[in-house]
């Protein structure tokens, strides 16, 4: 098995939903809202994908200015392909597309909180979120 990595290769809505489901990330993503999923793909600044031939096995979807901050909003690897370094490689390919001063920022899935420190991420003590149903 040889995994290839691509930046900004076209990913269909169906492929995106499928990899979210196969990675278990779908539990926290609006996979039944096709308009939202389409918008997530269309408006991403950077999408790095991992392929086993023509089969999508991983995706890193980011919103970024490429120079200062990159929000890695989705990192999904098919559970059958996990523990092979694909997630780490997706992050490395994301870094390669960014300026050397650009930091990657992410919110971890609860099951992945121990993964990110092992690959070099530091936990930030003052991250904040504002749910859509809360009005400022």
Tell me whether residue 44 is in a domain.
Answer: yes
Tell me whether residue 112 is in a domain.
Answer: yes
d(Cα 85, Cα 83) in Å, to the nearest integer?
6
Whether the pLDDT of residue 1 is over 80: the answer is no
* Torsion sign across C-alpha atoms 104, 127, 110, 17: negative
> Contact 130/136 with Cβ under 8 angstroms?
yes
pLDDT, tens digit, 9 for 90 and up, residues 26-72: 999 999 999 999 999 999 999 999 999 999 999 999 999 999 999 99
CATH of the domain at 67: 3.40.630.30
Q: How many domains does the chain have?
A: 1
H helices present in 55-108, as ranges: 86-96
pLDDT, tens digit, 9 for 90 and up, residues 99-130: 999 999 999 888 888 899 999 999 998 988 89
| pTM to 2 decimal places | 0.93
* Host domain of residue 26: 3-118
Tell me whether residue 126 is in a domain.
Answer: no
């Amino acid at each position: 098995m040889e995994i290839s990595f691509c930046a900004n290769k076209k990913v269909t809505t169906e492929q995106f939903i499928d990899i979210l489901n196969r990675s278990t990330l779908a539990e926290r993503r609006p996979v039944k809202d096709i308009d939202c999923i389409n918008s997530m793909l269309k408006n991403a600044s950077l999408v790095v994908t991992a392929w086993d031939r023509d089969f999508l096995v991983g995706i890193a979807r980011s919103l970024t200015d490429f120079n200062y901050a990159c929000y890695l909003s989705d990192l999904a690897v098919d559970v059958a392909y996990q523990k092979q370094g694909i997630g780490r490689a997706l992050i490395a390919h994301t870094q390669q597309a960014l300026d050397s001063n650009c930091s990657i920022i992410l919110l971890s899935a609860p099951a992945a909180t121990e993964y990110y420190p092992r690959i070099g991420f530091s936990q930030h003590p003052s991250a904040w979120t504002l749910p859509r149903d809360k009005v400022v």
